Chains A and B, each alone.
Chain A
Amino acid sequence: MEVIITKQENEVTAQLRGRLDTPASQDIANDVETLVGAAGGTIILDCTELEYISSSGLRIFLTLRKAAAEKGGTVIVRNITPAIRSVFMMTGFLNLFEIQ
């Protein structure tokens, strides 16, 4: 799993590459910290290359979404693959996130 974070003023883009499974979710704890810190602005989660997500990954998504809600920011999920989309659907995440 690879996370590439790019910051532009009030907007942070995180490119998620690979499989966000349970161990990976733990591995990217630092990146998540970073993103939570930017929750006041816009967080763009670029899922173009995200192949897989498990509930731990979803938990990260939810954590960011809650932080953004708290801090008045926005979380935008971009370019999800059909596989990720179906997981979002199963978990009702499609309603929680703005998906582009």
Chain B
Amino acid sequence: MKRSVISTSDKKQIRHSARMGLLLVIVAAITLEATALVQLYFSQKGIREEASMRAESQMEATRNRIMDIVNQTEASVRNSVWIAQWALNVPDSLYRVAQRIVEDNPVVMGSTVALVPGYLRSRKLFSPYVYEGEEGLVFRSLATEEYDYPSQEWFTKPIELDAGYWSEPYIDVGGGEVLMTTYSLPIKDRFNRTAAVLTADISLNWLTDLVGSVKVYPSAYSMMISRNGSFMVCPDTSLVMQASVQDVVSQMEDTATFGELSRAMLSGNAGNMTVSYGGKRSSVYFSPVERTGWSMSIVIPENEIFGSIRKIGTIVFVLQIIGIGMLILILGSLFKSQVRYRELNERKDRMARELQIASAIQMSMIPKIFPESKERYDLDMSATIVPAKEVGGDLYDFYIRDEKLFFCVGDVSGKGIPASLVMAVTRTMFRTVSAHEESPKRILTAMNNSMADMNENNMFVTFFCGVLDLKTGHLRSCNAGHNAPLTLTDTIQPLPVEPNLPLGIVGGMDFRDQEIALCYDDALFLYTDGLTEAENIAHEQFGEERVEVVLHGRKSADAHLDSIRKAVTEYVGDAPQSDDLTLLFIHYLGHPDQSSDVRRIVLHNDIKEVPSLAEFVESVAEEKQVSLEVTTSLNLALEEAVVNVMLYAYPEGTRASVEVEATIEPDSLIFKIIDSGKPFDPTAAPDVNLNAGVEERPIGGLGIHLVRTIMDEVSYERRDDKNILTMIKKI
């Protein structure tokens, strides 16, 4: 079963990341789209401007061409005005005038001089007309019943306007379905009366070609409408002169727009509009042609204008979608890897936490506070372990039992968790074994045998164990492959130790105790090779010389360790710590010979030690300045009590000790005799019968009687497997 290892806070954070990812995608999409839209907008604007420019320039060019012809036509008419004026009085010569106009101007297809009805008395209606027929010029009068020229627009309008006038285009049926227009100009006589109208007909076939040829875009087309809205030029030729704009507008769906457009065009305005026609949007550019009242327009379908840019827009859009899709994929995979990374991190954190706990457990096995030593005047101790990893294989331990300091330093082969487990086992074993052993060699032997038995992983421990009798300064020690501690007396020297094999290698090894005596102010410095083998970046070792240099001088145990640690840290610099580092400093401050109040002597269970006891008692008595008599009796009582222990407390042949402690009180001397022998209460012995005769008198029993007699108080207790006989002599 797969178990989620992600914590709630991490889940929150993951949700947050997911939200951020989504936000990122949205922002990216919006930015891309906005950029594209802005680009599109400006591109369209530019393209539209360009289209507009192209349309307008085309229209301008077309208009100029038209105006050329218009001007030419108007000029041809105007240039003939004076002749016409002159010819008014000779009506028949007016044919000549018209003929001249037609002949002199290639664009002019026909011309007439139409007299205002009644101007000449002789001829009520007269309008000689000359035009280009298929076989040369044709002369004809327009004053016919059917035609009634005075009512024609080309005649009435110029008179009405008193100016030149371009007629509505028309289809000339007579001359073969030709689109025509007529320019008419009123002519005045000498009296400034309007006498006639001079005209010139021009064909507009060229206009169809000219306007039809305007092709701004392939599918664009041009149109020309007349002043009245008739189609002059139109792609749909069926409409030409057959329909007007107004007719078309009425058929359109979007009547309003088309209506507006047609109004604008018919009013002679220039401009452009966008219209919809048959589902397609088109731009219409329109511009008037002066004087004629015509309006030219160019129609460009929008998809023609924006076709390419829309294609580009589509491509851009597709690319954006692909880009955002890829962004989502990338974010997704990032997100997944983030989740995986978090899981790994979580696992790593948990391991680190467990290691931390393991480290705390390990450190809690080691006495870190030295309450006993702080309370003791005869001992100043300090110790430290700095593991290279979270947990290490170094150990130290110490405790005080029976006024003896049991201590050890060890270094398990290897590092890390395996070493730490062995370290824990070693430390437990030390405590267990030393609880009922006082001899280091026996402690080591027992530990070695147990460890060799269960050593399947070939782990071993270098180990140094010492038992310091705090009352006497007597140090017994035993070494198992550990580096020799340093003794700090007047000089600093390694303690002479037997090397021996480390613990756990071979069972059944024999160890031997080694003994020295420590005096007041002597010190022991124990360490693991993590100290001397600490390497700097150049891989040079700290070495023993440096240790000795740092240890010089008298300082507290704490201060000594501080300076050692500082020296190593400085020496090592940035190089990583390669091995566990353990330091144990024991400064002995006991007075084995004389302490301030309590005097002690430890004697072997051998009566040959009695003179030493006597010396001890005498020195105590002398200090208290008691009389010789009392001294002698104290001597006697002590001898009796101590000899009793020497002879009877231990099994015969056992080497053991008895300890005498004297406390000098202001009004008394208190002696304590302490032994670890079998329980025996001398005060419980029956008193001797002093009045018995020689025969009845027992040989023994006198000693305890003397003690009772000499001492003021005698009491016995059994404590910590020890016999303690307390004797008080009031002085």
Contacts and interface: CB of A to CB of B under 8 A. Distances in A.
Interface stretch (A2-10, A41-49, A61-69): A61-69
B311 interface: no
A52 B635 contact: yes
Given A59-B699, A62-B699, A54 B640 contact: yes
Size bracket, chain A contacts: 20 to 34
Given A58-B702, A91-B706, A21 B695 contact: no
Interface string B658-695: 00000000000000000000000000000010111011
Q: Is the interface of B mostly helix, strand, loop or mixed?
A: helix
B691 A92 contact: yes
B706 to A, nearest CB: 6
B632 A83 contact: yes
Contacts of B74: none
B702 A23 contact: no
Interface in B624-651: 628-629, 632-633, 635-636, 639-640, 643
Interface in B597-619: 607-608, 610-611, 614
A22 B613 CA distance: 12
B709 interface: yes
Contacts of A59: 699-700, 702
Interface string A16-37: 0001011100100000000000
Contact of A91 (B610, B635, B690): B690
Contact of A66 (B636, B695, B709): B695
A51 B618 CA distance: 14
A22 B697 contact: no
Contacts of A63: 699
A59 B697 CA distance: 10
B706 A90 contact: yes
Given A59-B702, A83-B632, A96 B694 contact: yes
Name which of A22, A62, A65, A86 has the most chain B CB atoms within 10 A of its CB.
Answer: A22
A44 to B, nearest CB: 18
B630 to A, nearest CB: 10
B697 A55 contact: no
Which of A54, A63, A82 gathers the greatest number of chain B CB atoms within 10 Å?
A54
Contact of A86 (B608, B629, B635): B629
B414 interface: no
A85 to B, nearest CB: 11
B271 interface: no
Interface string A66-100: 10010000000000001100110011100110000
Contacts of B608: 23
A21 B702 CA distance: 13
A23 B628 CA distance: 22
Given A52-B635, A63-B699, A21 B610 contact: yes
Contacts of B614: 19, 21
A56 interface: yes
B130 interface: no
A62 B693 CA distance: 11
Nearest to B637: A54
Nearest to B699: A59
B611 A23 contact: yes
Contacts of A91: 688, 690, 702, 705-706
B467 interface: no
B706 A69 contact: no
A22 B607 contact: yes
Contacts of A55: 640, 702-703, 706
B710 interface: yes
A83 B629 CA distance: 6
A23 B635 contact: no
B614 to A, nearest CB: 7
A22 B694 contact: no
Nearest to B643: A22
A19 B631 CA distance: 14
Contacts of B639: 21-22, 54
B695 A69 contact: yes
- Greatest chain A CB density within 10 A among B610, B628, B632 is at B632
Contacts of B703: 54-55
A71 B702 CA distance: 24
A2 B699 CA distance: 23
Contacts of B695: 66, 69
Contacts of B632: 51-52, 83
A50 to B, nearest CB: 12
Contacts of B691: 92, 95
Contacts of B700: 59
Nearest to B693: A96
Contacts of B633: 83, 86-87
A55 B692 CA distance: 17
B636 A52 contact: yes
Contact of B643 (A56, A58, A69): A56
Nearest to A82: B629
A53 B635 CA distance: 10
A22 B641 CA distance: 11
B618 to A, nearest CB: 11
B697 A62 contact: yes
B610 A22 contact: yes
A54 B643 CA distance: 10
A49 to B, nearest CB: 15
Nearest to B644: A55
A95 B689 CA distance: 12
B689 to A, nearest CB: 8
Contacts of B611: 21, 23
A70 B703 CA distance: 25
Nearest to B708: A90
Nearest to B631: A83
Nearest to A84: B632
A76 to B, nearest CB: 14
Contacts of B610: 21-23
B636 A96 contact: no
B607 A23 contact: yes
B607 A96 contact: no
A55 B709 CA distance: 13
B278 to A, nearest CB: 145
B697 A90 contact: no
B621 to A, nearest CB: 13
Nearest to A26: B607
A30 B355 CA distance: 75
Contacts of A56: 643
B694 A66 contact: yes
A24 to B, nearest CB: 8
Interface in B112-168: none
A90 B709 contact: yes
23 contacts: A21-B611, A21-B639, A23-B608, A26-B607, A51-B632, A54-B636, A54-B639, A54-B706, A59-B699, A59-B700, A62-B699, A66-B697, A83-B628, A83-B632, A86-B629, A86-B633, A90-B709, A91-B688, A91-B690, A92-B690, A92-B692, A95-B691, A96-B694
In the A-B complex, list the 4 residue pairs whose CB atoms are closest, starting with the nearest: A92-B690, A55-B702, A55-B703, A90-B709
Given A19-B614, A87-B633, 19 more contacts: A21-B610, A22-B639, A22-B643, A23-B611, A52-B632, A53-B636, A54-B636, A54-B703, A55-B703, A55-B706, A56-B643, A59-B702, A62-B697, A63-B699, A66-B694, A83-B632, A87-B636, A91-B690, A96-B697
